[in-house]
Copies of this chain bind each other. A is one copy, B any other.
Amino acid sequence: MLTPTATLARFAAELRHEHIPEAVLRKTEDLLVDWFGSAVAGHGSRPVESITRFAAQMGGPAAQAPALGQGGAEVLISRQRGSAYLAAMANAAASHVAEQDDVHNGSVFHPATVVFPPAVAVAQALGRSGQDLLAASVVGYEVGIRVGEFLGRSHYKVFHTTGTAGTLAAAAAVGHLLRLDAAQMQHALGSAGTQAAGLWEFLRTAADSKQLHTAHAAAAGLMSAYLAQDGFTGAAEILAGPQGMAAGMSSDADATRLSDGLGTRWATVETSFKYHASCRHTHPAADALLQVMRSHGLQPADLHRVETHVHQGAIDVLGPVTSPSTVHQSKFSMGTVLALVAQYGHAGLAEFDQHFLSATTQALRDRVTMRLDPEVDGAYPRRWIGKVTVHTTDGRVLHGRVDEPKGDPGNTLSREEITAKALRLAAFSQGATAAEMQQAVDALWQVAQWPVVGALLPSRAGAA
A residues contacting B by CB (< 8 A) are: 46-47, 50-51, 53-54, 57-61, 64-65, 71, 83-86, 157-159, 163, 187, 190-191, 193-209, 212-213, 216, 220, 223-224, 226-227, 230-238, 241-245, 247-249
- Whether B60 lies near A248 (C-beta < 8 A) is no
- Whether A209 lies near B235 (C-beta < 8 A) is yes
Indicate which residue in B85, B204, B235 contacts A235 across the interface (CB closer than 8 Å): B204
- Whether B46 lies near A58 (C-beta < 8 A) is no
Interchain CA distance A316-B194 in the complex, whole Å: 18
Chain B contacts for A71, CB-based, 8 A: 57
* Chain B minimum-CB-distance residue to A195: B197
- Whether A46 lies near B231 (C-beta < 8 A) is yes
* Chain B minimum-CB-distance residue to A216: B195
Interchain CA distance A60-B207 in the complex, whole Å: 32
Instruction: Choose among A85, A200, A224, A243 the residue with the greatest number of B CB atoms under 10 Å from its CB.
Output: A243
Number of copies: 2
- Whether B190 lies near A243 (C-beta < 8 A) is no
Chain B contacts for A197, CB-based, 8 A: 194-197
What's the nearest-Cβ distance from chain B to residue A390, in Å?
A: 31
Contacts A57-B83, A59-B60, A230-B54 given: A236-B205 contact, CB under 8 Å? yes
- Whether A194 lies near B213 (C-beta < 8 A) is yes
- Whether B235 lies near A207 (C-beta < 8 A) is yes
* Chain B minimum-CB-distance residue to A234: B207
Chain B contacts for A220, CB-based, 8 A: 216
Indicate which residue in B187, B191, B193, B248 contacts A249 across the interface (CB closer than 8 Å): B248
- Whether B83 lies near A60 (C-beta < 8 A) is yes
* 10 closest cross-chain pairs (CB), A and B: A60-B60, A58-B85, A158-B248, A200-B243, A201-B235, A58-B83, A201-B244, A202-B235, A207-B233, A197-B197
- Whether B212 lies near A247 (C-beta < 8 A) is no
Chain B contacts for A85, CB-based, 8 A: 54, 58
* Chain B minimum-CB-distance residue to A66: B60
Indicate which residue in B54, B200, B224, B248 contacts A227 across the interface (CB closer than 8 Å): B54
Chain B contacts for A50, CB-based, 8 A: 227, 230-232
Chain B contacts for A200, CB-based, 8 A: 243
Chain B contacts for A238, CB-based, 8 A: 199, 201-202
- Whether A199 lies near B209 (C-beta < 8 A) is no
Known: A59-B60, A202-B234, A249-B249. 8 other contacts (CB 8 A): A54-B85, A60-B61, A60-B65, A190-B207, A194-B209, A196-B197, A201-B235, A201-B237
